Amino acid sequence: MSDKHTPNALLPDNIAALTAYSSAKSEKLTGTTWLNANESPYSRETSISLAALNRYPDPQPASVINRYARYANLEPEQVLMTRGADEGIELLVRTYCEPAKDSIALFLPTYGMYKVTADTHNVAVNGLTQELLLEGTVDDIVDAVGNAKLVFICNPNNPTGSLTSVEKISAIAKRLTDKALVIVDEAYIEFCPSHSATRLINEFANLVVLRTLSKAFALAGLRTGFTLASAAVLAPIRKVIAPYPVSTVVASIASEALSGDAITSMRRQVTILNALKEKLTQWLNASTSVLKVINGEGNFVTLKLADKSAFNRALEQGLVMRAFTLYGENDWLRISIGNEQELEQVKIWLDSLVPSNRSVKQDVL
Ligand SMILES: *Cc1c(COP(=O)(O)O)cnc(C)c1O
């Protein structure tokens, strides 16, 4: 049957050309140890009331907004609650970019949703490199950004863990005043809080910070994120966002997660996870089955395997990690920092690789 007799004939070209975003969870993998989605190993109980669900929720629940503002050291009007940081990305593109005309800039390799969102909205992508962002001068970077409306800086960057200094972000924002919004995605900032760019929000009207409860706050299932920016940047986004984006249930749990005690316990967990990351990095550096280890910030470590089949060996052992193509090479792997037991599974897998490596080398000789 030809395409024109199917609903596909109705699709705009940019939608027909989309390939579905392959998130860590959409891949149909089976396993027992899940270290592929940068989730926290900690889960918590909640005791929320389910009364009053006959009423529509507060569109921007005051208790959550006030608590997050206090946590981020901002004013409540500088905080927008969204369904994950992913919705923040989408709202920025929908609000600030004109389809078929505007573009966004990003620094590869980086988080996949910026491009997916741009493609979905028929907005062009100016794909620059992390190398330019980290080693280039502010002049080089601003030149390369060209007339992109939105500039996404993932900090620390997923999946490389690299950090761009707040000074550099500040200089870029300054140069792009009235030209572009500089969006700093701080999904992993709790693992290196002194590097946050939120303090620049009061200084630059074009600076936006994205945050989430999915990583250090251990609430990936809740779908809660925050877009932090000047009230002037958020005002048009407030017109575009759905009328009741946040359910009453989500708001209650998010508010609980932002109590003083809960933030203290999150910080304690971060300390433990950062220490486990060091331990894992040492194991990886010592393994002959690993060629390179990128030990950056964030709750993950990214590495290049000596032999790609090691990934399948892990799956056979029930150990699920995230395979990546980086720098055109398909033998990279990202390991999320789980609990001690889960990382022990990684150690068992690493140790199981050594003999087969040796025998391969002997075969060659
Ligand atoms: C996980 C992640 C997000 C998505 O966060 P949600 O709040 O779960 O939508 C955004 N940005 C980066 C860089 C991430 O790694």
Helix, strand, coil shares of the chain as percentages rounded to 5?
45, 20, 40
Taking the CA of residue 110 as reference, the ligand 1 atom at the shortest distance is 13
Burial class (CB in 10 A: 0-12, 13-18, 19+), 262: middle
Residue for token digits 């017109």? 239
Q: Give mean pLDDT, residues 247-266.
A: 96
Q: Is 60 helix (H, G, I), strand (E, B) or coil?
A: coil
Q: Fill in the amino acid letter for 292.
A: K
Smallest Cα–Cα separation from 190: which of 109, 245, 257?
257
Share of the chain above pLDDT 90, in %: 85
State the average pLDDT over residues 254-269: 97
Residue of 87, 162, 212 with the most ligand 1 atoms within 8 Å of its CB, for mutation: 212
What is the β-pairing status of strands 33-35 and 319-326? parallel
Q: Compute and round to an integer the Cα radius of gyration of the chain.
A: 22
What pLDDT, in 10s, does the model give residues 115-165?
999 999 999 999 999 999 999 999 999 999 999 999 999 999 999 999 999
Q: Is the CB of 185 under 6 A from ligand 1?
A: yes
Under 8 Å between Cβ of 334 and 300: yes
pLDDT (0 to 100) of residue 165: 97
Domains by residue range for the chain, with CATH: 3-40+273-352 (3.90.1150.10), 62-262 (3.40.640.10)
Query: Distance between CA atoms of 45 and 48, rounded to whole angstroms?
Result: 10
pLDDT digits (tens, 9 = 90+) for 197-246: 999 999 999 999 999 999 999 999 999 999 999 999 999 999 999 999 99
The pLDDT tens digits of the residues spanning 16-46 come to: 988 877 676 666 778 889 999 999 999 888 7
Pocket of ligand 1 contains residue 225 by CB under 6 Å: yes
Residue 361 has pLDDT above 50, yes or no: no
- Look at 1-5, 271-275, 296-300, 347-351 and tell me which has the smallest mean pLDDT: 1-5
Residue 52: alpha-carbon gap to chain centroid: 33
Whether ligand 1 lies within 6 angstroms of the CB of 220 is answered as yes
- Cα end-to-end span (Å), the chain: 56
Q: Measured in angstroms, how far is the CA atom of residue 362 from the centroid of ligand 1?
A: 44
Question: Helices 84-96 and 113-120, interaxial angle, to 10°?
Answer: 40
Using an 8 Å Cβ cutoff, are 91 and 226 in contact?
A: no
Rounded distance from Cα 86 to ligand 1 centre (Å):
6
Which pLDDT score, from 0 to 100, does residue 46 have? 79
pTM of the predicted model, to two decimals? 0.93
Candidates 308, 294, 350, 19; CA nearest to 134 is 294
Question: Is residue 39 within 8 Å of 273, Cβ to Cβ?
Answer: no
Tens-digit pLDDT profile for residues 287-315:
999 999 998 999 999 999 999 999 999 99
pLDDT at 358: 46
Query: Where residue 363 falls among pLDDT bands split at 50, 70, 90?
Result: very low
